Amino acid sequence: MKLSLLAPMAVVGALAACNAAEIGPSALPDDGKTAVFLTDAPFPFDRIERVDIHIDEIALSPQADTSEGLPTWVTVARPERTFNLLDLQNGTTALLGEADVPPGQYRAVRVRFDPDRSGMTDRDGGHPAIAWQAKGEVPSLFSLVEEPMAIDENGEDIVIDFDVGRSFLADSSTNGFIFIPFLRAITRAGSGGIEGTLVNAETGHPIPLAAVSIHYDFDTASALGPLVSTTRTDESGAFTASFLRPGRYTVLPEDLVRGTTGPTRDVRVEAGETVDAGDFEF
């Protein structure tokens, strides 16, 4: 999802209208506006057709600590729309809205959603139960902000990465899911990406709908670094992991059908660039 904010003034402005045509990596806001985008890492369960989240409001704060008192929040969008997070993969985003935002360093992002209008749909048309573990009529989610997001008078694009695979955990006791939200927020200009292709070494065919995890690279051969993001390949075996901070990462591919993990590869991500990690044959 894409959400645009205007940075030059301290007064919150009118929100831009959202429609289905705005879903896609090329849907960008006007110049001089700060944009907040929602994207997702792919959901790992083949039986799920849709993961719908109804988002009511997005707000930013210059204060990192949201637990004590009431931080200063700047509302940047009230989309009041339901989004299928599985439509948002491999760098695809959808616009959430626009507003004027005071220039400054922003350290917290709040997402208010409606669990009563959110849910899942499996491939048989069923709706698995979700334990939202949410309090209040309109619960708040808070995005991880690893570095303060700088917004100047020219505006900025902000992306909220909603990692479906890490946020919905399978609950074998109910055959449903437990919601433990994992969201990251980052500026588009300050992020880069990784792309590549998975290939079956035996057949030479691409590996579709495979899982790809991105880990921090701590220059150690003994263990993977912490998991940063997940994505999956399309029907042609290609993947793109987007909106990553500059730095070194380890790419770990996995063929879910064969239950086989491929070779890892270390890559360096630079801001504003998508590095080609090449083909992963296994």
Domains of the chain: 2-187 (no CATH), 192-281 (2.60.40.1120)
Q: How far apart are CA 6 and CA 26, in angstroms?
A: 19
Residue with tokens 């849709």: 50
Beta strand 238-244 with 33-41 is unpaired
Instruction: Convert the pLDDT of each residue in 71-111 to its tens digit.
Output: 789 898 999 999 998 888 777 888 887 778 889 999 999 99
Instruction: Give pLDDT, residue 61.
Output: 93
What is the identity of the amino acid at 65? D
Q: How far apart are CA 178 and CA 57, in angstroms?
A: 23
Instruction: Give pLDDT, residue 19.
Output: 33
**Residue 103 per-residue DSSP state:** S
Q: What is the pTM of this model?
A: 0.73
Q: How far apart are CA 232 and CA 93, in angstroms?
A: 16
Q: How far apart are CA 193 and CA 171, in angstroms?
A: 32
Instruction: Convert the pLDDT of each residue in 186-204 to its tens digit.
Output: 888 889 999 999 999 999 9
Q: How far apart are CA 113 and CA 56, in angstroms?
A: 5
| C-beta atoms surrounding 223 within 10 Å | 7
Instruction: Give pLDDT, residue 87.
Output: 84
Under-70 pLDDT residues of the chain? 1-46, 68-69, 220-222
